[in-house]
């Protein structure tokens, strides 16, 4: 008998699009959205998409409802030009918030990684009553969590845009090797990381207008740092339960960023892992096991 025959149909990963304003927002989901099961919203990082959560979706749909959207310009969602869509974290968060409202989600746990943190915290500030907890995976909210050596020319770009800096960023970040490095740097076994990750990301960012879109987001990231005090205040005041799983060898968001959460959250399951920026690539079994336990014991 095929093993998949034993899996309930609603537990399997499914794919769809939701029209949000004039955009087709692609999503992956697993579990029954009409049940009373707790919901998890999975917000992806750069340069990835909902593809980064494929193993989480496949594993947890038996007990929970999970949904992972692609931001505009990422993955399989609509890719408007920079003249048609404002590529800022404020605007992306508004689009994602509308998406969740249209999908009928009233309460959920946010899983945030990299770009997912500034998107998720904006949603949480607007709807604190909806967010029942966080799974934080190298999703930063503290100034000490920004590694100057990892951000390099982007920090200079914040001080002033120049063609030379844009060229440097494109040559170091947007190449196939640059994409691969983000997935393999800091991992214990780089040869075990699925190359589909960087091949897909390189394809997406190499589309006409892809570099311009990414540069807009990089430049706007500086505005996230200005909001860190508000996000920290939200955490202290609301005390959402938190599962933190953080790759300690992340070149962009070092461990001090993870430590910051311990100052503000009382109920935190704190885990520092010997891996890189995309911790799921090496630590999916551990993270999924921790997520199942967290949802069972901490999320009401």
The 10s digit of each residue's pLDDT in 143-201 is 999 999 999 999 999 999 999 999 999 999 999 999 999 999 999 999 999 999 999 99
Q: Enumerate residues 6+ apart whose C-beta is below 8 A from 114.
A: 44, 45, 46, 48, 138, 139, 140, 252, 253, 277
Task: Output the pLDDT for position 34.
Answer: 86
Task: Output the pLDDT for position 7.
Answer: 54
Q: Is 44 an active-site residue?
A: no
The reported pTM is 0.95
Task: Output the pLDDT for position 275.
Answer: 98
* Residue 207, domain member (yes or no): no
pLDDT at residue 127 greater than cutoff 50: yes
Q: What is the CATH number of the domain that holds 38?
A: 3.40.50.1820
pLDDT at residue 117 greater than cutoff 90: yes
Q: What is the domain extent for residue 286? A: 3-147+224-298
* Residue 163, domain member (yes or no): no
Q: How many domains does the chain have?
A: 1
How many secondary structure helices (H) and strands (E) does the chain include? 12, 8
Helix ranges restricted to H, the chain? 54-60, 89-102, 116-126, 148-151, 153-159, 163-173, 176-184, 196-205, 210-220, 222-238, 255-264, 280-298
Helix, strand, or coil (residue 210): helix
Task: Output the pLDDT for position 5.
Answer: 46
Which two structure tokens, joined as six digits, stand for 295? Answer: 């949802």
Task: Output the pLDDT for position 6.
Answer: 52
Task: Output the pLDDT for position 80.
Answer: 97
Q: How far is Cα 159 from Cα 161, in angstroms, rounded to an integer?
A: 7
Q: How confident is the model at residue 3 (pLDDT cuts 50, 70, 90)?
A: very low
**Matching residue, tokens 């049940």:** 35
Catalytic residue among 127, 185, 211, 277: 277
Q: Enumerate residues 6+ apart whose C-beta is below 8 A from 214.
A: 46, 47, 173, 174, 205
Task: Output the pLDDT for position 36.
Answer: 85
Task: Output the pLDDT for position 71.
Answer: 98
Instruction: Summarize pLDDT for 43-82 with one digit per residue, the tens.
Output: 999 999 999 999 999 999 999 999 999 999 999 999 999 9
């Amino acid at each position: 008998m095929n093993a998949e025959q034993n899996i309930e149909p609603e537990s399997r990963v499914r794919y769809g699009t939701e029209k949000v304003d004039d955009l087709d927002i692609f999503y992956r989901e697993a579990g029954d959205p009409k049940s009373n099961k707790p919901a998890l919203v999975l917000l992806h990082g750069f340069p990835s998409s909902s593809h980064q959560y494929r193993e989480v979706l496949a594993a947890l749909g038996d007990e929970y409802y999970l949904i992972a959207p692609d931001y505009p310009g990422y993955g399989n969602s609509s890719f408007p030009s920079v003249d048609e869509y404002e590529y800022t974290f404020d605007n992306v968060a508004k689009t994602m918030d509308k998406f969740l409202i249209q999908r009928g989600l009233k309460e959920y746990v946010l899983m945030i990684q990299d770009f997912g943190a500034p998107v998720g915290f904006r949603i949480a500030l607007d709807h604190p009553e909806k967010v029942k907890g966080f799974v934080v995976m190298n999703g930063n909210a503290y100034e000490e969590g920004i590694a100057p050596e990892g951000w390099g020319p982007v920090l200079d770009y914040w001080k002033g845009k120049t063609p030379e800096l844009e060229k440097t960023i494109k040559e170091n970040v947007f190449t196939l090797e640059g994409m691969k490095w983000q997935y393999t740097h800091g991992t214990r076994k780089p040869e075990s990381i699925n190359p589909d990750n960087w091949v897909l990301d390189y394809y997406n960012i190499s589309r006409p207008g892809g570099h311009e879109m990414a540069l807009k987001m990089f430049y706007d990231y500086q505005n996230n740092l200005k909001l860190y005090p508000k996000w920290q205040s939200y955490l202290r005041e609301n005390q959402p339960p938190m599962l933190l799983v953080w790759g300690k060898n992340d070149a962009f968001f070092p461990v001090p960023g993870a430590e910051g959460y311990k100052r503000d959250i009382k109920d935190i399951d704190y885990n520092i892992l010997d891996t890189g920026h995309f911790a799921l690539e090496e630590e999916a079994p551990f993270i999924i096991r921790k997520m199942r336990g967290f949802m069972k014991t901490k999320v009401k």
